[in-house]
Amino acid sequence: MPIITIIGAGMMGSALAFPARENGNTVRLVGTPLDRDIIKTCQSTNRHPKFTKDFPAGVEYYQIEDRKQAIENADLIIGGVSSFGVDWFSDVILPEIPEYIPVLTVTKGLLDTDDGKLLCYPEVWEKRLAARGRHLSLNAIGGPCTSYELVAHDQTEVTFCGHDMEILRRLKAMMKTDYYHISLSTDVVGIESAVALKNGYALGIALTIGLNQRAFGVDSELHFNSQAAVFGQSVREMAKLLSMQGAGTLDNLCVGAGDLYVTVYGGRTRLVGILLGRGYTIDEAKAELNGVTLESLVVAERVARAVKRRAAAGTLDAGEFPLLLHIDEILTEKKPVDIPWESFTIPGDAFAKEV
């Protein structure tokens, strides 16, 4: 029976214990230093404190100091940390994983460089490991999937990406169920970029919900025309950014667009976007959400910074990203929401013929 060790007991890492265990694997869930109370609750109740459903019988729970025992003899390590745990996972966990054990991460995000490049986390980790003379098979999960719906066994289709297709097939065999469906891709940069880019754009779409609430009342009916317009512009700009990454394929764009759809309809990114649309400043919106730092805000700022650096170097037209740059103005310059609608329109002779 394969052994899957999940490091990070947040909602998504913990949710993956369901298909992993229900597919017949031994599952070990390890908390980070911030997950101590979560693991205690899991040990005493067999349920994550934010879930409404028990874990499948047989899931094992470990505090962080017992991680080496949990890693021992594992067939797969799943990294379940948020983007704010990237350095910790890189510096503490990856060096302890034997090179024969593949890693599968759920962490989403991009780092920008001084010359305007965007790096996904597996790229960053590979460089850091290489500097230590080590190599691991680093794979990642992308696609539309919310943790609570995975726990509820809602039909879900994601993509596992990595450099070795044989390893990806093995990981799929470990994790697939009748509700968790897995595509495979060797385009790590493309998949990881697509699912990271959607974060800032989901916030942009949520702005329209707040604008309509400000105009018609908080309890007014939803208005979908404006949401759809910003959704379309988001996908258009994501396609251009994926091309900038050398990953502008239709499949990558579809993964990002699907993830964008899910993110618009749930989570804190939606809430902060609505608050901004109602007229809150970014500081007021974050205070309303108890000062939580959102991954979507970080990604939007990093991507906008990369675009501006490339535009300054003459390798990119910043005018092709009006939505992204307005989101950045809201976040970094604290400008009020004023969506540049007309800049989204396309002259009749300028429609793109290819993705």
Beta strands in 10-146 (DSSP E): 26-30, 60-62, 76-79, 103-105, 110-112, 118-120, 138-142
- Tokens for 170, please give them: 């093995």
* Close Cβ partners of 345 (under 8 Å, ≥ 6 residues apart): none
pLDDT computed for residue 114 by the predictor: 95
pLDDT computed for residue 291 by the predictor: 57
Domains in the chain: ranges and CATH: 3-186 (3.40.50.720), 189-344 (1.10.1040.10)
CA angle in degrees (0–180, nearest 5) for 30-36-39:
55
pLDDT computed for residue 330 by the predictor: 96
| Of 76, 86, 101, residue with least CA distance to 17 | 76
Give the chain's residues under pLDDT 50: none
pLDDT computed for residue 355 by the predictor: 54
Query: Which backbone phi and psi does 334 adopt, to 5 degrees?
Result: 60, 35
Q: What is the largest CA-CA distance in the chain?
A: 64
* Close Cβ partners of 329 (under 8 Å, ≥ 6 residues apart): 335
Q: 234: alpha, beta or left, given left = phi > 0 and alpha = psi -120 to 50?
A: alpha
Total-model pTM:
0.94
